[in-house]
Structure 1
């Protein structure tokens, strides 16, 4: 049976169905933690049967949402409260680690990247897209980024 101490050690935070494990941020061994100025932090998010990735670029102070869905809906309508909760808790984490960028990150507005391979009809493969986005995205927006996905085609 897990004690409250175990739960506090295991989770950085838990909110509804969103669980962020401490191991996602740091090594289990003291001394292996490296906070650099050139650091991208990826959060895979599963919300309402859809996977997407939120990427915090600590070097250039930006928040990029990597989502395979093609949509013109506002960010607030697409991602809602989980995005706000994620940012709040990540900023708290940076503050506890005395990271010099926590103040900058707290003021940022997430930007949803437009990618040529975004889909309108494929609602099944979002997990595959999310994994590939984490493997291939190195910050800097979508201009020079190629995840090696072909654009969606429609067969009549």
Structure 2
């Protein structure tokens, strides 16, 4: 009976040892993904979040009475394509605008890459509407600490902004 108990304890200890061998990092190094640009905070906006922010801002344009329907596509090439419809039941306007998000002096800048707004507004005016709420969210993420925007990633249908706290 002792031999059977010793065998069972040995088998259990061996199984635990094998599991630990394959799960514990023997070098004790964290395996984290390096952040592009050396930032230490990443703020990510998926397409739905961007659409909600942009719809809220487009509603403030003169002549826009109802909240527009907005769709956003974050392309891997770095562009953010926004299409929107203002009005309802065939009465209204459709438009689209493409932004190229860039870093300028450690802050976010949306450069207009293309637009079809149908006379609704100048593309630069739309960019000027969208930039401040995104920048405000970066300010919130950093708290009251000074920071600079160091990198922009457009992967997995997300716009990710990397900040470095100074």
TM-score normalised to the size of structure 2? 0.30
- Structure with max Cα Rg: 2
TM-score (norm 1): 0.31
> Which has the larger share of strand?
2
Larger RCO: 1 or 2 (CA < 8 Å, sep 6+):
2
